[in-house]
Structure 1
Amino acid sequence: MLAQTLKSKGVPLESDPYLIYDEFKEADPGRQRDFLDKCRFYIRASEKAIEQEIELLHDKQFIWNTVKDMGLVLPSDVFELITDHDEVEIYDSRGIQVFANFEFFRKVSYTPEEMYWKSWAELFERDQKHFDQLMQNFVYSITEATGPFKPSIDKHLAWEIGSRRMKKNLVEFKMFAPIRSKLTNEKYMIASSRMDLVSEQPV
């Protein structure tokens, strides 16, 4: 039902939990619980936005409401640096996604289940120079940064590893910022970018 509603809103989000089922069933209960909590939260956040008639695309209100509901604290000027057309992602300290807006999911062929299970380094490949730049800026945003900053990452190609469409995007990161949980004080990072599709394989 949610998938049909999202499609009617111009957000054809794919979902297939069986893509990670073999790894899921072998994981420890804590990781399984965290994963299921993320999936349930994303469903609730989407349904809430639809009920409140908030635009799911090109509207920062969806991101802002979701971040508040997650109990995350952001530097005050983060949303001034995000535009309505940016791809926005939030990652934990392991590099595993905990949230992304629908702009992001329109640019990749991974399902939320895949994004919420594996780290970005397992899902996307880029040349070594840009991987190193991304890793350095990611670690800095988690461990040292006190506010939003323009990451020192050159515009580059990133391609999916083993996905169904093997999409390749030209990625320009615009902003990284540290964030934390009000409840646990756990550290996260938020990133905004512009992604332009270069190629994909037909399904």
Structure 2
Amino acid sequence: MQTPRGAHIGLTGGIGSGKSTVARLLVERGAALIDTDAIARSLALPGGAAIEAIREAFGSDVIDSSGGLDRARMRELVFADAQAKGRLEAILHPMIGLECNRQALAASGRTTVFDVPLLAESTHWRTRVDRVLVVDCSNETQVVRVMSRSGWTREAVLAVIAQQASRERRRACADAVIHNDGLTLDELAQHVDMLLAQWAPVEQSRRSSGARPT
């Protein structure tokens, strides 16, 4: 007998949008979180499953003294060369997919949130989740937030934003959008609660009928 699965929610948003805060709020409300960025980081730690393939593809210059991925060096390569980004994704994405599947099976029966920064760029993710939630804010808000927390320059933040999907592209794939400009944490939590309340009856009906939501 197959174990019933809970709703699968795809969560995405640009850098500095507040996506990680929304993910935390969803977890506090009982959801299981599968963080694709965290999985990617673990794969590229010293001894990680992707390290040798990365070394073969890019050379030892991208491996730091501890034996893990030199993220600053790789970031420079990816920003300078779109083909380098594609080679890195070809190594990481299949491994990330396998680990996502493993974690999703472990969370069977619970609402599962897939935190996927590249969801809007991927046709694969849109077909495997029941709902897409986008956390959105203005580009200026993104810049201010990232500069304040990371110490990056304005130009560095804008370069990352330029590499990501546009706000319009993310919103186009969304079933719901949280506009996270000027919201307090309590207000953001209220938006999350309202959204879960709106989706819960639909998800209960889907599980009862076995149908996928439209």
Shared fold (TM-score, shorter chain, > 0.5): no
Higher percent of residues as strand: 1
Higher percent of residues as helix: 2
Q: Give me the TM-score of the superposition, normalised by structure 1.
A: 0.29
Structure whose CA Rg is larger: 2
Q: Give me the TM-score of the superposition, normalised by structure 2.
A: 0.28
